[in-house]
Amino acid sequence: MTKRRVAILISGRGSNMAALIQAANAPDFPAEIVLVMSNIAGAGGLESARAAGIETATIESKPFGRDREAFERAMQDELLKHKIDLVCLAGFLRLLTPWFVQQWDGRMINIHPALLPSYRGLHTHERALADGVKIHGATVHFVIPDVDAGPIIVQGAVTVHDNDTAETLGARVLQVEHRIYPQALRMVASGQASIHGGVCKSTTATASEKTLISPSF
């Protein structure tokens, strides 16, 4: 099995990155993490990537100011240098231009802390609580030029408790993120997930028949 070469792009602590690195340690995992790249110098995740023996790169976005494409060209050079096949965005907090997204069309995935298409954007847990939704969760999707949109690969849901705060709810959603992101990467890297008519279908994964009802009765 030829493993797909993956770069993870981060801006912060990198807990999803760590979950991907750990999953990719399994011999049968169809991808290897060869590069972790950050747009923020000193992002916490860089240290843990290095500790796991993974090469890191920092390309700060700030010096490029409003020239987003110049920043992305620098990232692209680094990705090509490492012969990257797939890009995983894991808490990478920069908007990407259509040019960059096009370079990685069908080969770049992102995790978002909400059940898309609900709650695109920031402060997803606060907004879910304010709306009083009873089920919330996380989504891994292919990246398209629109932000927090694109064919959905995997979703994971949690029940919302009456006494939840954004922190307690976010912590439960994060645990789900750490389960679904490795699974989504496995599906994409192995070719089990692909886009047909704008939506993602998977060949081998079977949907669980479990029903999640909240509040339960």
Q: Which of 15, 38, 48, 190 binds ligand GAR (CB under 6 A)?
A: 15
Rounded to the nearest 5°, which phi and psi values hold at 169? Answer: -65, -45
Would you state the structure tokens that stand for residue 22, as one six-digit string?
């750990």
- Asked whether 158 and 135 are in contact (CB, 8 A), the reply is yes
The nearer residue to ligand GAR, 45 or 182, going by C-beta atoms, is 45
The residues in 69-98 that bind ligand GAR, with binding defined as CB under 6 A, are 90-91
Q: Which residue from 208, 206, 118 is spatially nearest to 160, judged by alpha carbons? A: 118
The helix or strand, by DSSP H or E, that contains position 152, with its residue range, turns out to be: strand 152-159
Could you tell me the smallest distance in angstroms from the CB atom of residue 63 to ligand GAR? 22
141 classed as catalytic: no
Residues 6+ apart with CB under 8 A from 96: 68, 72, 143, 145
Q: Which of 4, 112, 141, 172 binds ligand GAR (CB under 6 A)?
A: 112
For ligand GAR, how many residues bind (rule: CB under 6 A)? Answer: 15
Binding residues: 14-16, 68, 93-96, 110
Binding site for ligand GAR (CB under 6 A): 10, 12-16, 45, 90-91, 111-113, 148, 174, 177
